[in-house]
Structure 1
């Protein structure tokens, strides 16, 4: 953690951070399990459980595959748990599902206004997600904040996957910032560990995803209820 006033860029996770995870992704998770099970309801429930979601309550285990995995990792987990489809077949079917999910996603706040305010203060802004890049771009367009972003990275953008540091380094290259000038904001430990391995100046956890204070506090400098508290927690942040 660096002193306030030295953060000039903010790199956000998408699902569970900008989007309410439970409202946006529980129906998608059920659909991906149905696809992976080829319509077999009992198998779909077993696949959900194996990947981290209780098929009855909808609770998703923090840092599980469904909480933090990218498409390939989820596909591999589904195959290990008994899906009759191959990893390649699942990736081919799940990526479009995840992209279309942007149309029914629920934001945690007015994202256009939120990003407009940060952009107006001079911050460099980016989104780094374990989802595919197309889905991030469609989400940004739908909620009106695409024009405020300096950087977008998905698992398929060539920067590596979380919790590797590549997405942070890509943000730094795109913005001219050093890692210690960057705050990483996310809802699970993949985000926070990515920030730590990259040497990010600040790691901020939010509770609008699958993580909890108990699961996130060790790797986070701050745990917030949601992204709207970011500036109130860091009132002296000023971009240059």
Structure 2
């Protein structure tokens, strides 16, 4: 493995990292706003904007509420932007929506092939997402990667929420690794902050979500087009200015 650090585990974000964000979440975010508007169609674009999504283009801003928040945070944001619903009730409705949506996600690559290859190389693999745990598990089952994953955590799994380090530390405990031997892989700065806070050996950003090279390079050790080149980076010697390189 790479000389510095020796990576033995990889913890993946889900949305924008394993699944393409706009294709997977654009329709879901619109439905979330529709639910939160409680029948007031004029409120829907206001709620989408509060979440960080442009109602016209369907693009979601990096590090926005939709891109980085969990169901409870999105519900609170919607209520703050004018939704008449109770935040707790709306959180439950959003969790149910996100669970249904998991089956229609668009993968960034051939996930079984990627995970099988990484597992064959000896890596411990985990998924840590701001989505609820049931939705993460349904996504993993849908794409046939459950058998390759050693750890799954969502915002409701009891390990805290991003950007706090709890989910990464729980992954390390579950698989018997120190954080310095784990790579954090994500598409937004809340993933990178979690990696930093936990003491991850590598912070690897991917450009398949809402984050950009410009928004991610300050905290990422490398910015990659997608997860298919992870092995190349992990096994390569460390190089200066890697985050701004065009890997």
Work out the CA distance in 1 between the residues paired with 2:40 and 2:173.
Answer: 46
Work out the CA distance in 2 between the residues paired with 1:16 and 1:4.
Answer: 27
Work out the CA distance in 2 between the residues paired with 1:60 and 1:4.
Answer: 35
Work out the CA distance in 2 between the residues paired with 1:160 and 1:235.
Answer: 31
Most deviating of 162-171 and 36-45 = 36-45
How many residues in Structure 1 have an aligned counterpart in Structure 2?
236
Work out the CA distance in 1 between the residues paired with 2:109 and 2:4.
Answer: 25
Is there any run of 5+ residues in structure 1 with no aligned partner, and where? none
Match of 1:194 in 2: 194
Residues 128-207 of structure 1 aligned to structure 2 (within 5 Å): 128-207=128-207
User: Normalised by the size of structure 2, how large is the TM-score?
Assistant: 0.93
Work out the CA distance in 2 between the residues paired with 1:74 and 1:230.
Answer: 31
Q: CA deviation at 1:103?
A: 1.3
Is there any run of 5+ residues in structure 2 with no aligned partner, and where? 238-247
Structure ranking higher on relative contact order (CA contacts 8 Å, 6+ apart):
1
Work out the CA distance in 2 between the residues paired with 1:111 and 1:53.
Answer: 27
Match of 2:64 in 1: 64
Match of 1:25 in 2: 25
Work out the CA distance in 2 between the residues paired with 1:163 and 1:201.
Answer: 16
1:5 and 1:236 in contact (8 A); partners too:
no
Match of 1:220 in 2: 220
